[in-house]
Structure 1
Amino acid sequence: MKKFFKRLIILILVAVIAVGAIFHKRILLGYGIAEKYISLKDEIPNTKNVDITSISNSMNYKDIVYKDTNGVKLTLDIYSPLKNVYKKSPVILYVHGGSWVYGDKSLPEVLTPVLDTFRDQGYTIISTSYELMRNKEDFNKQVCDVKDTIRWIYKNADTYNFDTDEIGMIGFSSGAHLSLMAAYSPNDDFTDDTSLSSYPSKVKYLVDFAGPTDLSLLNTTNLNFDLNKVFSSVRNRESVINKFNPINYVSKDDPNTLIIHSKSDKTVPFESAEKLYEKCQEENSKAEFIALNNSGHDLSGISSDDIVAISKGLFMFIVSNSPL
């Protein structure tokens, strides 16, 4: 384990240099990420392990209602910058996974070293919720919820000192699917809360962790009981798939995208990520692709090599799309 973390430090610092890190901030950022991974428990983290000792305990604003439609209040959490580095704070929005039917906005431990370090450099982290499906399909509502979160950030930029020119997204699994839909679809599509509908929904970059990009590729034999009920409720399956496939919205105007997917994913096939990357290339949409080798869909069983690939790749991608 110690050898792994030493290797991680070296590779991240090499990555710092690779993205032009003659800048002092980038050197500190790269070292800070590696240092925080060292401080984790010996157990390699995955998306099910939620860190309750670090970033979660330093939350500044919890359960802020960002919309209230049909009597359902949806909330988000704000983790403010640990240092005031910029006049306005860049924002990273996290969208959780859970098969569209489970999950909450707690931050996964595998991401906390990266997110904590960016907070050290003046970033705001926002984690949002969306209305989970219950017995029937409602992708439309969930995409609206994620898109309305972005609109809320624009609406409240002055209150919380957000830099709306520097908004990035990170989504896991179903959260990545919803993030792709929200970021790739036209600005005025998928509106729900009328008090937010006039605000933009543009983001600068997006990280897709194992997101379904073509719903027809999902392994339906692996569906959990609740998701199976949801999918069984779909009447016009082809129409729903066509409308809610992120790959159908790819264009040259999309935000820069980092695709991270494991070849060993048994839930969302690796082909889903390959197809998105190929489509982005066809449409001249900027995209990068990191293929993991050994981890499961939820990053269970992740190897040290894959941890290095994620931490280095995520760091390089965010920095290259940031004011650092």
Structure 2
Amino acid sequence: MTKQLLLPLLMMMTICNGFAQQIIPLWEDKDIPNYQKSDEKELIPERDIVFIKKIQKPTLTVFLPSKQSANGKAVLILPGGGYAGVSYDWEGTDYAKWLNSKGVAAFVLKYRMPQARSVKTSYLAPIQDAQRAMRIIRNNASEYNVDLDKVGVIGSSAGGHLASTLGTHTKAYYPAKDNIDQHDFRPNFMLLIYPVITMNNEVTHKGSRNNLLGKNPSKELVAQFSNELQVDANTPPTFIIHSGDDGVVQVENAILFYQALVKNKVKADMHLYPTGGHGYGMGIPNDKAPKWATLAEEWLEK
């Protein structure tokens, strides 16, 4: 699907705050890689947040600041959810509104879940969607007032694993479909919020590992998606937040990645907090949640 064909497919969606946003399908139905037909339906359980499960067709929702405020930066947002679903508002659209307020274009990805019946090979689907989303952003950079060399990614929890996969894996995980796929899928910078990093069974978040790789993955597959092992000198600069009392994703995930970045002389900024637990989003649910947004804003300005 070319850029000319893509743009007419932009759809409009009214978000709960009353603003209309563009929703872009990543592919035409016939072009979705690693896909098979199923009778499974997308599901949003009744919860305090919008948590989308069993995603069949991935989409990218566009949030743009005013042209007067735009600073040329863009961020692809990968919400967490343990590779079982996406915390679409809590770690997605809330981030987008914050980024827009700082002049940054934001794009929330609703990516496929590895264990969806419509997915053929589990571990390929999320990274295929993330790579395609990054390419779509760059393909439409002029319309979005975005600099091609200032496109980053932010991911939380399992979304942090997907973000670090996008930033450290150099191979394309699907064959090129059109002119969009001529663009680079690697981000220029990464923000990782209480991220899953490793698939090492002693440290990983087991739910994310089981959903992504299956319950009995090979040693080779575990190593491939243990992203601290994939860091090299070309890994983009990275900002990391984690809490020592995180009882869901061990803080060692962040530490392992930071150590790999330092070893490879990659610019890295890590902030560890003694409290906060896990899944605090923008850091406002309780007094113990880290107030990390100001630090991130300062880092982005650099």
Coarse TM-score class (shorter-chain normalised)? 0.7 to 0.9
Shift in CA distance, 262/190, structure 1 to aligned 2, threshold 3 Å = same
| 1:298 counterpart = 2:279 | yes
- State the identity %: 18
Shift in CA distance, 285/229, structure 1 to aligned 2, threshold 3 Å = closer
User: What is residue 218 of structure 1 aligned with on the other side?
Assistant: 204
Among 262, 265, 275, which residue is 1:281 paired with? 262
| 1:65 counterpart = 2:25 | yes
Among 173, 180, 191, which residue is 1:207 paired with? 191
Structure 2 CA distance for aligned equivalents of residues 290 and 164 of structure 1? 28
Residues 144-203 of structure 1: per-residue CA shift (max 9 Å, x gap)? 2111110111122234333212112110111110111111221x4323552243211132
Contact kept, 8 Å, 1:261 with 1:273, in 2: the verdict is: yes
Structure 2 CA distance for aligned equivalents of residues 280 and 89 of structure 1? 26
Residues 263-305 of structure 1: per-residue CA shift (max 9 Å, x gap)? 1111211111111111111111111111022112212896546
Shift in CA distance, 107/237, structure 1 to aligned 2, threshold 3 Å = same
User: What is residue 300 of structure 2 aligned with on the other side?
Assistant: 318
State the SS of the aligned residue for 1:181. helix
Shift in CA distance, 82/107, structure 1 to aligned 2, threshold 3 Å = farther
User: What is residue 15 of structure 1 aligned with on the other side?
Assistant: none
Contact kept, 8 Å, 2:153 with 2:191, in 1: the verdict is: yes
State the SS of the aligned residue for 2:279. coil
Structure 1 CA distance for aligned equivalents of residues 246 and 125 of structure 2? 27
**TM-score relative to the length of structure 2:** 0.74
Moved more, 94-103 or 135-144: 135-144
Structure 2 CA distance for aligned equivalents of residues 304 and 173 of structure 1? 20
User: What is residue 40 of structure 2 aligned with on the other side?
Assistant: none
Shift of 1:117: 5.2
Shift of 1:125: 1.2
Among 228, 235, 245, which residue is 1:247 paired with? 228
Query: For residue 182 of structure 1, what is the amino acid of its counterpart?
Result: L
Compare CA radii of gyration and give the structure with the larger one: 1
State the SS of the aligned residue for 2:85. coil
Query: For residue 126 of structure 1, what is the amino acid of its counterpart?
Result: F
Higher helix share: 1
RMSD across aligned C-alpha pairs, in angstroms?
2.9
Q: Which runs of 5+ in 2 are unaligned?
A: 1-14, 38-55
Query: For residue 228 of structure 2, what is the amino acid of its counterpart?
Result: I
Among 156, 174, 180, which residue is 1:172 paired with? 156
| 1:105 counterpart = 2:88 | yes
Structure 2 CA distance for aligned equivalents of residues 294 and 253 of structure 1? 32
Structure 2 CA distance for aligned equivalents of residues 232 and 64 of structure 1? 28
Q: How many residues align structurally?
A: 256
User: What is residue 90 of structure 1 aligned with on the other side?
Assistant: 73
Structure 2 CA distance for aligned equivalents of residues 144 and 206 of structure 1? 18
**Higher RCO (Cα < 8 Å, 6 or more apart):** 1
Q: Which runs of 5+ in 1 are unaligned?
A: 1-51
| 1:162 counterpart = 2:162 | no
Shift in CA distance, 229/95, structure 1 to aligned 2, threshold 3 Å = closer
